[in-house]
Structure 1
Amino acid sequence: MPAPPSKWKGYCEFNGQKTCNNKLVSARNLVKTANREPPFEEIFHGTHTSGEAAGNFVEDASVFDNAQGTAAGMAPKAHVAIYKVCNASVGCVESSILAAMDIAIDDGVDVLSLSLGGLGSVPFYDNPIALGAFTAVQKGIFVSCGAGNSGPDYATLSNDAPWILTVGASTIDRTIKATARLGNGAEYDGQTLFQPKSFFSNLLPLVYAGSNGNLSSALCAPGSLNNMDVKGKVVLCDLGGLISRIEKGQTVKDAGGAAMILVNQQTNGSTTLSEAHVLPAVHLSYVAGLAIKQYINSTYTPMATILFKGTVIGDSQTPAVGFFSSRGPSQASVGILKPDIIGPGVNILAAWGVSVDDKLPAYDVVSGTSMSCPHLSGIAALLKSAHPEWSPAAIKSAIMTTANTLNLAGEPILDERLLPADIFATGAGHVNPNKASDPGLVYDIHPDDYIPYLCGLGYTDNQITMIVGNKVRCSEIKSILEAQLNYPSFSIIMGSTSQYYTRTVTNVGPANSTYSLELEVPLALGISVNPCKISFSEVYQKATFSVDFIPQIKENRGNYSFAQGSLSWVSEKHTVRIPISVIFK
């Protein structure tokens, strides 16, 4: 993480109002410096994410001449307001987040994009992002947030309030390819951003940094290779240990290593990252790492080199879910399926604050749900521009019900294990912006509709009042179960009794249209829908249908703890699909 240049004096964080150099600065001015220079962003996270959401068209963008082309955000003609709430020393203060959201709402933004997380799944009245987002939705502002980077374990996501679009991270069909070639002729493909033309492809001695049995060495922790003979060799390092991938390469370089092969641990699976390493390097999958370690143990003279192959377009297994992308189910509200959607968040090129390759304008390739979130924020801005009458919930519904569930090869979307990704990794699927602009039907929710839902969660009147901003008395309101909220998905906790819910769809397609039911019924479950066909004669006409979820014989589900399916309304022009998750009690 680069330190601020010495000329930046008087730096202070935005935190409502705060004294900086003994001068009170307004929250509206965000950050001021004593010499009146613009604010300095230490880690360039906001530069990258704002570029993804709404960066203008820039020709010949690249990093180290890789991923070359015209760069643009999702909504390149949108206006951007940036509110700084974090810094490297104290992180993201909750009061700063809320203050920035309040100011953005007052400024009249149309979309709020928050690439912030880390709070975990906490009650919504205790979550500043959920609180600020509800006020935004009441004002007609769409809110998009990253699901978090704590995957692939279940129940790890953040930002799971139903009025927020919760976004997971997927791969794109561009790889910045490098290949590890072994002395036995075997080759293993991976990725790296730094691809030096001066590195010759002749075989060099290969050594596993963990061959001495020391975990610190295996992880290539700083200083751990000082007593190992790695000079002029290719060094195999394991991912993990809270040591950055770039730092591992620096350890190898400091010890005299010629190159690094970085391999995933089992939880990281096949997800590989293109990064600006400090020496020739390649990032490989877990399976490739096992094969290379086996090779090292099979010969007295293991050899390897790295072949740099540049930018390759056309990976048929994309989109796939990145290993780090946080998974559902939601812990704050298990009756709402989360994440909602996945979008591009692995190896994304966008604007950067400093040049990593001595070229301007500056770009870098970064991965995280922080990157997938602004992709969806920009798409939401385009949808709001095309359909200004749509509510935030209608925009969310359009995004979710039109999502892709197949990859470019026409097969189910995969996860980091190269197995079909489940519903708690993908939500509704991968965003399809063109289809989202014409969804046919939407599942709309008025902000007041969340109040019976919040009462059903068992929150107190004061806790709900804190969320919605108005005095609430649940004793005067008919509360609803979580799954009864008119959400564009179902999340069912199935015991031994049937469950009955309704949904209401609004026609935003052709005035005269008829939709027929299609079901993908989850394992060990029966579903009855009434009616099985709905017809419309007007635009914005509504129709309500009921769904009975009926448990079947327990033995039918085997050892599965959950199942998944979908419910779709299909017309001549549209397919309106919502996912169904079922957790067995």
Structure 2
Amino acid sequence: MEGVVSVFPSRTRKLHTTRSWDFLGLSRAAKRNLAVEGDVVIGLLDGGIWPESESFNDKGFGPRPPGGRAPAKTSPATSTKIIGARYYKGGFVSGDELSPRDFDGHGTHTSSTAAGNAVVNASLFGLARGVARGAVPAARIAEYKVCWDDSCDDHNILAAFDDAIADGVDVLSVSLGHSEMLDYFEDTMAIGAFHAAKKGILTVVSAGNSGPDPGTVTNVAPWYISVGASTIDRRIVTRVVLGNNKTIVGIDSLNIHDSPKNFSSVIYMSCMAPGQFDDIVEKGKIVFCDADYEQDPYNSGAEGFVAVTTDPDDDAADSYTLPTALVTYDQAKELAQYLRDSPEPVAKIMKSEGVFDAEAPVVASFSSRGPNLLNPGILKPDIVAPGVNILAAWSPKAPIRDDGIDTVTTAPYNIISGTSMRPPTSPAPPRTSNHSTLPGLLGRSCLH
């Protein structure tokens, strides 16, 4: 057929889900050339954006960048900060409003990580409190909503690439990917990024969240930067105070509930069978499980939940509906011994807190690994950047948890982990205050 280069199936891809910049040595006090940064347009292919977030306030921003590089005014959601916002709905049946607005949270999170304004006193219910800011706070954002209900169709992705190239963005951040590696000629992200590269536009993509097994990285085209996730020097812990005044420091759970003043009784359950929590007769007790059951005993009326983690090397803190602490096997043995020794065992699950992690940075356990199985001679991922327990802006239409239990708790800022958090970190180098004339593709070389 005339004008058709190739035909292949449109596949569905998935989205890859305060302290980062200080940890990287980019303090808020660092000297910046705001005139240069204000001329940078970062395009994001994601799940939309919530423009009313304080991270995208356009107060103090000058007119749109000159020279025809900026997108046309494409939505009522645009401003002098968000200078373009498009959406692509072809092929999707979704209950979401047909607009560039974010109803999932992911797109708002990545956008603020890339170019969010500095927001003082940001936190998730007091946790990780500090100044939330993006890689290039003075940069402009062009949002391309290609994902609906956590799914992103290839034909929408390719259409967004076409528009972003025509709009003249400086760099593209794409935090999504396929579950399997595709040949370049059938990979819409690789095709779109190739055409962007021909126009001098750098594309930065997430490596994926399928680690730590080798060969799990799927975004491997040589003309874009594939970014894995690493830890930062803040780890989130949840302390369990026992009635004998001993404290167990739990790992990898995110408890936003205020620390209780009083102790609660503790009961043991094996927690191996679904529905077992329904048999709890006495309410208001902390349930101690010897397994990391996927669903906390929320509907049972339990006061809290302590479980043995099946992956003690996991870096990301998961949020639970109940006050929850995950403990190692050795810590569980200590707790079990206390239950045996005490006629009336009691405990308190404290609110999570951030502690210093001297081992950082290390590659996150979930971050997809090389080698590049398509072209073993090309190193992928290219780099890693902070992607564990990152606080950034969130959509008020999205619950802070995706457990399907708590669908009402929202917050202006949320803590999530994933290699999705990393492409927004990496657009900064090509046109920052210190490299104001460096073209995007040459900027790629500087990151190696």
Aligned to 1:30: 87
Pair 1:253-2:298 in alignment = yes
Q: Aligned with 2:182: secondary structure?
A: coil
Distance 1:312 1:42, change over 3 A: closer
Letter in 2 for 1:190: I
Answer yes or no: is the 8 Å Cα contact 1:274–1:347 preserved in 2: no
Cα offset for 1:199? 1.8
Report the secondary structure of 1:154's partner residue: coil
Q: Deviations over 1:210-258 (max 9, x none)?
A: 3xxx3x44xxxxx4421356743323457878x5xxxx23xx1211221
CA distance in 2, matches of 1:333, 1:240: 38
One-letter amino acid of the structure 2 residue matched with residue 158 of structure 1: T
Closer/same/farther in 2, CA of residues 158 and 263 from structure 1, 3 Å limit: farther
Comparing both chains, which one has the higher relative contact order based on Cα–Cα distances under 8 Å and sequence gaps of 6 or more?
2
Structure 1 residues 359 and 203, CA gap change in structure 2 (3 angstroms)? closer
- CA RMSD, Structure 1 to Structure 2 (Å): 3.5
Could you list the per-position Cα deviations for residues 274-330 of structure 1 after superposition, in whole angstroms to 9, with x for gaps in the alignment? 53x32211244xxx2353057527853674634536543532111122221111111
**Distance in structure 2 (CA, Å) of the matches to 1:39 and 1:263:** 41
Q: Which amino acid aligns with 1:386?
A: H
* 1:195–1:310 CA contact under 8 A, matched in 2: yes
Distance 1:150 1:187 in 2: 30
Q: In structure 2, what is the equivalent of residue 550 of structure 1?
A: none
**Cα distance in 2 between the residues matched to 1:238 and 1:164:** 44
The answer as to 2:200 corresponding to 1:147 is no
Cα distance change of structure 1 residues 62 and 106 upon mapping to structure 2, 3 Å threshold: same
Distance 1:53 1:322 in 2: 20
- In the aligned structure 1, how far is the partner of 2:440 from the partner of 2:285? 59
Query: Contact between 2:264 and 2:284, CA under 8 Å: does it hold in 1?
Result: no
Q: Is the 8 A contact 1:348 1:371 kept in 2?
A: yes
CA distance in 1, matches of 2:148, 2:289: 31
- 1:124–1:130: 8 Å Cα contact kept in structure 2? yes
> Is 1:364 the counterpart of 2:409 in the alignment?
no
Matched position secondary structure for 2:162: helix
Of 266, 274, 279, the residue aligned with 1:227 is: 279
Alpha-carbon separation, structure 2, partners of 1:78 and 1:262:
44
Matched, 1:380 2:429: yes
Are the aligned partners of 1:167 and 1:342 in contact in 2 as well (CA < 8 Å)? yes
**Is 1:94 aligned with 2:154?**
yes
Q: How does 1:273-422 map to 2 (within 5 A)?
A: 273=317, 275=319, 277-284=320-327, 288-293=328-333, 295-296=335-336, 300=340, 303=345, 305-308=347-350, 311-354=353-396, 362-377=412-427, 379-383=428-432, 386-392=435-441, 394-400=442-448
How many angstroms apart in 2 are the aligned matches of 1:135 and 1:71?
A: 33
1:397 Cα offset (Å): 2.4
Alignment of 1:70-219 (within 5 A): 70-88=131-149, 91-182=151-242, 185=246, 187-190=248-251, 192-197=253-258, 199-200=260-261, 202=263, 204-210=265-271, 214=272, 216-217=273-274
Aligned equivalent of 1:523: none
Which of 171-180 and 199-208 deviates more?
Answer: 199-208
Return closer, same or farther for 1:106/1:384 CA change in 2, 3 Å cut-off.
Answer: farther
In 2: Cα distance, 1:200 partner to 1:329 partner: 51
Partner Cα distance (1:340, 1:369) in 2? 13
What is the CA deviation profile of residues 490-539 of structure 1, one whole-angstrom value per residue up to 9, with x for unaligned ones?
xxxxxxxxxxxxxxxxxxxxxxxxxxxxxxxxxxxxxxxxxxxxxxxxxx
- How far the C-alpha of 1:113 sits from its partner, in A, is 0.3
The alignment status of 1:59 with 2:120, answered yes or no, reads: yes
Q: In the alignment, is the contact (CA less than 8 A) between 2:194 and 2:223 conserved in 1?
A: yes
The 2-side partners of 1:169 and 1:113 are apart by: 15
- CA distance in structure 2 between the partners assigned to 1:384 and 1:279 by the alignment: 45
Distance 1:152 1:57, change over 3 A: same
Q: CA, structure 1 residues 62+391, in 2 after alignment: closer, same or farther (shift >3 Å)? A: closer
| CA 73–292 in structure 1, closer or farther in 2 if over 3 Å, else same | same
Kindly tell me: are residues 111 and 361 of structure 1, through their superposed partners in 2, closer, same or farther at Cα, counting changes over 3 Å?
Answer: same
Cα 1:309–1:381 change in 2 (3 A) is farther
Instruction: Output the CA distance in 2 between the equivalents of 1:291 and 1:181.
Output: 12
Asked which structure has the greater CA Rg, the reply is 1
Mind listing any 5+ residue stretches in structure 1 that lack a counterpart? 1-12, 15-26, 218-222, 401-585
Equivalent position amino acid for 1:179 in 2: R
Distance (whole Å) between structure 2 residues aligned to residue 320 and residue 345 of structure 1: 11
Contact 2:243–2:346 (CA<8 Å) still a contact in 1? yes
The whole-number CA distance in structure 1 between the counterparts of 2:149 and 2:243 is: 44
Residues 306/367 of structure 1: CA separation in 2 closer, same or farther (3 Å cut):
farther
1:384 to 1:399, Cα distance in 2 relative to 1, 3 A: farther
Secondary structure of residue in 1 paired with 2:385: strand
In 1, Cα distance between equivalents of 2:154 and 2:435: 34
Structure 1 pair 147/341, CA: closer, same or farther in 2 (3 Å)?
Answer: same
Q: Note closer, same or farther for the CA distance 1:29–1:116 as it changes in structure 2 (3 Å cut).
A: closer
For 1:362, give the aligned amino acid: P
CA distance in 2, matches of 1:67, 1:28: 30
Partners of 1:173 and 1:316 within 8 A in 2: yes
Corresponding residue pairs, total: 352
| Cα distance between partner residues in 1 of 2:431 and 2:348 | 42
Letter in 1 for 2:113: E
Give the AA of the match of 1:346: V
The 8 Å contact of residues 123 and 129 in structure 2, kept in 1 or not, is answered as: yes
Consecutive unaligned residues in structure 2, runs of 5 or more: 1-46, 49-83, 401-407
Task: Note the alpha carbon deviations across 1:463-498, whole angstroms, 9 max, x for none.
Answer: xxxxxxxxxxxxxxxxxxxxxxxxxxxxxxxxxxxx
Instruction: Provide TM-score, normalisation by structure 2.
Output: 0.69
Q: Which residue of 2 aligns with 1:466?
A: none
Give per-residue Cα distances to partners, 1:511-568, cap 9 Å, x unaligned: xxxxxxxxxxxxxxxxxxxxxxxxxxxxxxxxxxxxxxxxxxxxxxxxxxxxxxxxxx
SS at structure 2 position matched to 1:96: helix
Deviation string 1:371-424 (CA, Å, 9 cap, x unpaired) is 1221112x23544972434451x3222112xxxxxxxxxxxxxxxxxxxxxxxx
TM-superposed CA distance for 1:44, in Å, is 1.4
Match of 2:60? none
1:432-468 Cα shifts (integer Å, max 9, x gaps): xxxxxxxxxxxxxxxxxxxxxxxxxxxxxxxxxxxxx
Give the Cα separation in 2 of the matches to 1:158 and 1:384.
32
Whether contact under 8 Å (1:28, 1:103) holds in the other structure is: no
Give the percent of matched residue pairs that are identical in Structure 1 and Structure 2. 36
Q: Secondary structure at the match of 2:391?
A: strand
1:125–1:131 contact (8 Å) kept in structure 2: yes
Q: Which amino acid aligns with 2:284?
A: G
